[in-house]
Amino acid sequence: MSDKTRKFFNRLIKISAATIGTIALSVLSTGLIIAREIPDSFSIVEGEKLSFNNKFPIKAELTGSKYVLANNISKAGKHYSDELMFLGSVPIKNIKVSVVKQVSVVPSGETFGVKFYTAGVVVVGMTDVDTAEGAKNPAYEAGIRKGDVILAINGKSVTSNSEVSALFSASNGKSITVSLKRGNVGFSVTFKPALSVSTNSYKAGLWVRDSTAGIGTITYYNPSNYSFAGLGHGICDVDTGKIMPLLTGDVVKVNMTGIVKGTSGQPGELLGVLSDTVWGNLCMNNKTGVYGFLNSVNVGKLVPVAMKQEVTEGPAEIIATIDNSGPKKYSVEIEKIHFNDDSPTKNMIIKVTDKNLLKATGGIVQGMSGCPIIQKGRLVGAVTHVFVNDPQRGYGIFAENMINSSKVLEKSQQKDVS
C-alpha cells in the first residue's frame, strides 16, 4: 500500500470515528434531555403495560420486580422498576411504576359557584398607621408579611376581618401575640398596635381577607358517593397569589347571564348570578383544584381516566357550559404535553378549534377552569388557564393529578366516619 493510500485510509478512519463520536454524543445528549423531562414515577392500570404516547421515542424494559407476567397482566397495589430505553437500545433512566385500579368518573362541564371562607384570615396588604409620631407599621416591624395567614390573636382563633379589627382595637396599645402560618410553617409574633390619630383606634397596619366567591367548572364527579372535583387549580388570593386556606365552602348553582369575549391582552369571562341554595360543600382546596361533595348529581356516563403517559398530542374535546342550556362538547387540539412535576396544573397546551365556541367566547375565558378534556373516550385532563395574549390557547392539567387528590379526600372522609 502506497503512502498516499495509507494516508487516505487513515484520514477516512479519523473522519469516520469523529462522525460516529458526534452521532453518539448527539444521541446521548438527546436521551439525557428526554430523561430530565420524564418524571421519576408513573402509574399504570392493572392488566396493562407501561407505554408512552407519541411524544418520546422510548420504551420501557422491566428491570425490577418480576411480578409483571409474560402476558403483561399486572395487579393493583404492586410496584416495580422500569428502565427507559431511548431509540430501543440506549438506557437513559430508571423509573418506578405503580399498578392501580382503573378509575372511572362522570365528566361534568357544568358551571358552579363557590362561596369560600378561609381558615384564619389572609394578610393581603400592609399599610402604615398614622400616629402622632409619624407613620408606623407595627405588624410589618414584627415580621408579618403579605400572604401570611393569621390563625389566632392572644390565643383566640379568628375567622373574620371584623374579629381581627376588634381585637387590635381592644388592645389599647398593649402587647398582643399573633399566631400565624406562612406556607406550612407556623410561628408567632408579639407587638403593640399603634394608635391612629385619624380614627382614634389602635391598628396593626395590615389588610386581611376572610372570604371570596367566584364561578368555575366541575371537572367530574363520582356517582357512587357524589364527590366532585373542579377548577384544575387552587383558589388563590387575588392580591397575594397564594392558595387560600379553606375553613368552609359552599357550592351553589349558577344562573348564566352573559359572556365577556376574550381578546388578546384582555381575558374574557363567564358572567352569572350565584344561587342562595347550597348544592354541595367544599372540603379541600389545593394546587390541583377544589374538591368536595354534591347533594345531587345529573345521571351521566362513566368514562375511564387516562394515565398521563396515555395522553397524546392531537384532537380532543372539552365540555363547557357557556349559557343556561347546559354543558356541550367543543373541539380542541392538544398541541403540547409536559411531564413537569413542578407545574402540576400546566401539563398540556390546548388550542380551541371549535368555530361555535370561538364565536361565542373567543376561546378560553375565566369560569371555564375545570372544563373536562376528553380524548379517545377517556378523561385526560381539565382546562386550567388561558394565555392572556392568545385566548384561543391555554393550559390543561392531567386528570390523573386531580384523581390523586380525590383519593386523598375520600380516604380522609373514610377516616372521619370510622
pLDDT at res. 31 = 47
One-letter amino acid for residue 192 of the chain:
K
pLDDT at res. 55 = 57
Residue 236: pLDDT band (50, 70, 90) is very high
Catalytic residue, candidates 233, 385, 405, 406 = 233
Q: Give me the residue spans of the domains in the chain.
A: 1-102, 105-114+215-417, 128-204
Determine the CATH number of domain 128-204: 2.30.42.10
Query: Any catalytic annotation for residue 354?
Result: yes
- Span 316-325, average pLDDT: 97
Residue 43: pLDDT band (50, 70, 90) is confident
- Span 173-186, average pLDDT: 94
Report the chain's mean pLDDT, rounded to a whole number: 86
Reported as a single tens digit per residue, the pLDDT across 13-42 is 666 555 555 555 554 455 455 556 677 777
Residue 185: Cβ within 10 Å count: 7
Task: Flag whether pLDDT at 174 surpasses 50.
Answer: yes
Catalytic residue, candidates 171, 196, 227, 369 = 369
Catalytic residue, candidates 148, 210, 250, 354 = 354
CA 176 from centre of chain = 37
Fold of 105-114+215-417: Thrombin, subunit H (2.40.10)
Supply angle C-alpha 282, 286, 287, rounded to 5. Answer: 140
One-letter amino acid for residue 68 of the chain:
V
Query: Any catalytic annotation for residue 165?
Result: no
Rg (CA), the chain: 27
Residue 66: pLDDT band (50, 70, 90) is very low
Residue 238: pLDDT band (50, 70, 90) is confident
pLDDT at res. 72 = 47
Query: Any catalytic annotation for residue 369?
Result: yes
Q: Which three cell numbers stand for residue 92?
A: 437513559
Greater pLDDT, 98 or 290: 290
Residue 183: pLDDT band (50, 70, 90) is confident
Cβ burial, residue 347 (10 Å; 0-12/13-18/19+):
buried
